[in-house]
Structure 1
Amino acid sequence: MNQDVQAKDGDDVSGVKRLLELPEETTLPEHKRAKTSGGGIPDIGPGKVPDPPGTSDATRKPQRGKQNEKNKGRRRGTRPPVEDGSDRPSTPRLPKKQCAVLIGFSGTNYAGMQIQPSVRTIEGVLFEAFVKSGAVSEENSDDPVKISLARAARTDAGVHAAGNVVNMKLITSPPGVDDLIGAVNYNLPPDIRVWDIAQIPLTSLSQIRVQNSFNSRSSCDSRKYIYFFPTYLLIPPRPGSGLFYSLRKQNGESPVHQFWGSLDQTSGDASGDEVSPQTKLPARPEDLQRKRAWRIGEVELNALRAAVKHFEGTHNFHNFTVNKDFRDRSNQRHMKDIQVADPVVHGETEWISVLLHGQSFMLHQRKMMTALILSVRTGTPPTVINQMYGPRGVMVPKMPALGLLLEYPVFEAYNRKIAAANERIRDPNDPEYRHPIDFEIHREKIEKFKNEHIYSRMRAIEEKQAVFDAWIHTIDAYTGQDLLYLNHRGNIPSESVVKKGERRANPFKERKQFNSTDFVGGSVSSSMPMLEMDLGEEEEELDEKQTEEMDG
């Protein structure tokens, strides 16, 4: 599992002071020489045992002093020792300050947020840019631990963030650098941007100053995520599909959705008669073109907005992550607010976004979006979501990672704390004044970045690869019992309950390809083929320890 370079709170990662050794020819002052008694034997003081006869400097065991005992097991300084007789001038040590760095990035070309050996990560590229800009000294440039690097929110490989906060100790006024933010952005690729850096003088370039004790992870009390998807996912299952057949068996006869009413009777049954789940469906390109031309109605939009309210509040989200037992207390998470935006059309496709504001999120909690979308498109009452907080386990597939975006972390408690401290200070330019951490003051730049580097890329990949259509096909093609909780009664039947260690006849298999946001090695090509609907490796299961390490 990936190692975290985040320093523990309170650790001194600046290096211990070097002990100075006296040259052999140095003569100690009289008052520092060891006292001797008869025979020239040093008077070593009461309670100390003299060296045995015949002991020489070469054979004497080194005595560990109190200071060495105190420092035992601590991190040693890593600065190279100065050679005897060297006339190399010492580099002046510039002051460092604890800073909050507000950033945004497209995660497509990176193996996650935090630094890992031998792979390209957001923090790794960011650290290199600060070194090149002079904000990290040469002697600290070999190890991010030395600058106490930590992050507010961890993101997995390929996941994007319009806003995140990294705190680190930086040289805020490097020699010859007038605009540190501009210098760092110059040394960064276009898909990573620095919005602000705390502690540098307040100018039009920097608008935030934080307390020296600030830690982005411990000070962050909630996070906002956005999930962005094409509205055609809300079209009910196609007549002739496995899920359509399953719903027909559970719910009885029901009218076929008008979208499917014009289907060619030779390519699939839209008449409402019972069909086999193995019925051959028409070619996907024509089907997909009709889906992209579809537009959400008031009925579907209102159903979506009503269903999200069932996620708000404190609940046991064990069914919305992986490898978590119902009794695990870490399953309790609080969703503060969830909002469904108005749909927007880009090109031929209509898109919609859902903003989720929660105190914290579990690994693969985008399963919430699956339960939301599948309940609406199948006419399942949203009360089934409430039943999923109970002790019975069910299989909820994960939505494609392509649509996930960290909007930004929130620092409500920290902002309240400094607001109280600022009441006695009237001048925002006063050195003691502390500004709240607020991404909204950079909203215009952030929205431009999202449209140019995040949303545009999501749409381009979907346009060429039809990722969401391939995913919904795996849902609709399933003929087993794992999804029987999708029904007009809004209950969880015993047949769909998943029990740990118990084998199921036809379990739903997830595909690794839907965990990717790249698909083509970081470039969008006009010749990219659509994803195969029913191919791809099955996803490997994570053990409980791996799951805990990857929770955000």
Structure 2
Amino acid sequence: MLRSCRIINILSRHLSQFSKSKMTEDSIKALKRPADDSHAETEHEDKKLKTDQDEKKYPKKKVALLMAYSGKGYYGMQRNAKNSQFRTIEDELVTALIRAGCIPEGHGDDMKKMSFQRCARTDKGVSAAGQVVSLKLWMIENVLDKINAHLPSHIRILGYKRVTGGFNSKNNCDARTYSYMLPTVSFSPKDYNQEDTSFRVNSETLQKVNHLFGLYKGTHNFHNFTSQKGPRDPSAKRYITHMSCGEPFVRQEAEFAVITVRGQSFMMHQIRKMIGLVIAVVKGYVDEGVIERSWGEEKVDIPKAPGLGLVLERVHFDRYNKRFGGDGIHETLEWTEEEEAIAAFKDKHIYPSIVETELLEKSMVNWMATLYIHDFEATAGNQERKDDDEDGNASD
């Protein structure tokens, strides 16, 4: 009997230890077991459901946005998500689109996700009155007001239009029109006091200026009007349809004029060099024949006018309008209803900025003081590299 009791006690102790060991193992396994992810799955489903609901309420559509901006203080139009040190116009736009609820936040780091494209890159300090960008966004209510509410006053979205799914504002653009505002003392003789704000250009000089600008019309090899392109590079050939200087006007006691140029596309610095060369001819630094000579294979040292007065006025979509403008679904990309707002923006934000900055910083006056160092021959390499370092790599 005693022996049986001892056996029962031993078995009881072993069972107790086994039970404790089993509980410990189970506890450890329980601690090591992955957390219940049913909540995460539910949260993911909620987000997915929310996105689906947003898509139904605010479907994504491909649109063209009409932009106007003063480029003063910005490092051009194009955004560089990897380098936020240099603020650009697109940085402001993307921030506004996210805050307005037009695009997901993640699209700001990868603009391809919203099929973003700008019609023209503008250089450091260059303004625009008629820039067009294309992208996919959620068509929220009062979309323009909500985007503009998150933009500074010197950057505005003036209009938008629905476009085809395959529309690309750069590739579908047939031509671009730029203007360049400058003080008319730029057309004074080289021995004239360039800081004299009382200078007034006469009709004979203005006629000569327009004759010289007219020489640019047509297709020419503009390899000398940009950098890093040789004379046999096919992409250096560009087609200019119009270039002229308008009637002068007075602002803050100084006389200014606006040059207008339209072409299919322009290379980096091309417009500013076209203007710089004409100024050099009018002032008497070089003869008129240099313009035709610059289209040949030889290297010509061409001075580049300051970027301050350059403005992207308008972009043209003639072929797109002809093909889709009358299909009953899409609108033509002609911004006639926005012309009043465009003019008002230029009068308030672009022209005053150009005039005030020129009179204060004298960018044109200082640039003209360097014209004597140009010999208009094959010695432009060092100067071009210096210009590129100062201006960055954005195209006109």
Q: Structure 2-normalised TM-score?
A: 0.81
Higher normalized strand content (fraction of residues): 2
Tell me the equivalent position of 1:338.
243
Aligned counterpart for 1:171 among listed residues 138, 159, 183: 138
- CA drift of 1:83 comes to 4.6
Q: How large is the RMSD of aligned CA atoms in angstroms?
A: 2.5
Tell me the equivalent position of 1:299.
204
- CA drift of 1:339 comes to 2.4
Any unmatched runs of 5+ in structure 2? 1-35
Q: Within 2, Cα distance between the matches of 1:302 and 1:138?
A: 53
Q: Within 1, Cα distance between the matches of 2:77 and 2:128?
A: 10
**Alpha carbons of 1:171 and 1:232: their partners in 2 closer, same or farther (altered >3 Å)?**
same
Q: Within 2, Cα distance between the matches of 1:416 and 1:328?
A: 32
**Alpha carbons of 1:346 and 1:327: their partners in 2 closer, same or farther (altered >3 Å)?**
same
Aligned counterpart for 2:146 among listed residues 180, 183, 189: 183
Contact kept, 8 Å, 2:184 with 2:201, in 1: the verdict is yes
Q: Within 2, Cα distance between the matches of 1:362 and 1:142?
A: 27
Contact kept, 8 Å, 1:99 with 1:168, in 2: the verdict is yes
Aligned counterpart for 1:539 among listed residues 368, 386, 390: 386
**Does residue 274 of structure 2 align to residue 368 of structure 1?**
yes
Q: Within 1, Cα distance between the matches of 2:227 and 2:333?
A: 33
Contact kept, 8 Å, 2:277 with 2:304, in 1: the verdict is no
Partner secondary structure for residue 414 of structure 1: helix
Moved more, 130-139 or 364-373: 130-139
Q: Within 1, Cα distance between the matches of 2:37 and 2:294?
A: 67
Contact kept, 8 Å, 2:76 with 2:394, in 1: the verdict is no
Partner secondary structure for residue 217 of structure 1: coil
Aligned counterpart for 2:51 among listed residues 92, 102, 110: 92
Q: Within 2, Cα distance between the matches of 1:459 and 1:97?
A: 40
Identity of aligned residues (%): 33
1:91-240 equivalences under 5 Å are: 91-93=50-52, 94=55, 95-116=59-80, 117=82, 118=84, 119-138=86-105, 140=107, 143-172=110-139, 174=140, 177=141, 179-198=142-161, 209-238=162-191
Q: Structure 1-normalised TM-score?
A: 0.59
Q: Within 2, Cα distance between the matches of 1:379 and 1:124?
A: 41
| Regions of 4+ moved over 2 Å | 82-90, 137-145, 379-384, 496-500, 549-552
Q: Within 2, Cα distance between the matches of 1:115 and 1:139?
A: 15
1:452-467 equivalences under 5 Å are: 452-467=348-363
**Alpha carbons of 1:121 and 1:551: their partners in 2 closer, same or farther (altered >3 Å)?**
closer
Q: Within 2, Cα distance between the matches of 1:288 and 1:382?
A: 22
Partner secondary structure for residue 453 of structure 1: helix
Q: Within 2, Cα distance between the matches of 1:337 and 1:233?
A: 21
- CA drift of 1:190 comes to 0.6
- CA drift of 1:498 comes to 4.1
**Alpha carbons of 1:388 and 1:96: their partners in 2 closer, same or farther (altered >3 Å)?**
same
Q: Within 2, Cα distance between the matches of 1:235 and 1:121?
A: 35
Tell me the equivalent position of 1:475.
371
Query: Residues 397-438 of structure 1, C-alpha deviation per residue, up to 9 Å, x if partnerless?
Result: 11011111111221111111124x43xx4xxxxxx2x21111
Higher Cα radius of gyration: 2
Tell me the equivalent position of 1:60.
none
Aligned residues: 346
**Alpha carbons of 1:441 and 1:338: their partners in 2 closer, same or farther (altered >3 Å)?**
farther
Tell me the equivalent position of 2:32.
none
Q: Within 1, Cα distance between the matches of 2:289 and 2:347?
A: 35
Contact kept, 8 Å, 2:185 with 2:194, in 1: the verdict is no
Tell me the equivalent position of 1:12.
none
Q: Within 1, Cα distance between the matches of 2:285 and 2:369?
A: 18
**Does residue 286 of structure 2 align to residue 322 of structure 1?**
no
1:12-23 equivalences under 5 Å are: none
Partner secondary structure for residue 305 of structure 1: helix
**Alpha carbons of 1:540 and 1:105: their partners in 2 closer, same or farther (altered >3 Å)?**
closer
Tell me the equivalent position of 2:314.
408
Contact kept, 8 Å, 1:392 with 1:498, in 2: the verdict is no
Any unmatched runs of 5+ in structure 1? 1-81, 199-208, 239-259, 261-286, 426-431, 484-495, 501-506, 511-537
- CA drift of 1:541 comes to 5.6
- CA drift of 1:92 comes to 3.3
Aligned counterpart for 1:391 among listed residues 297, 300, 305: 297
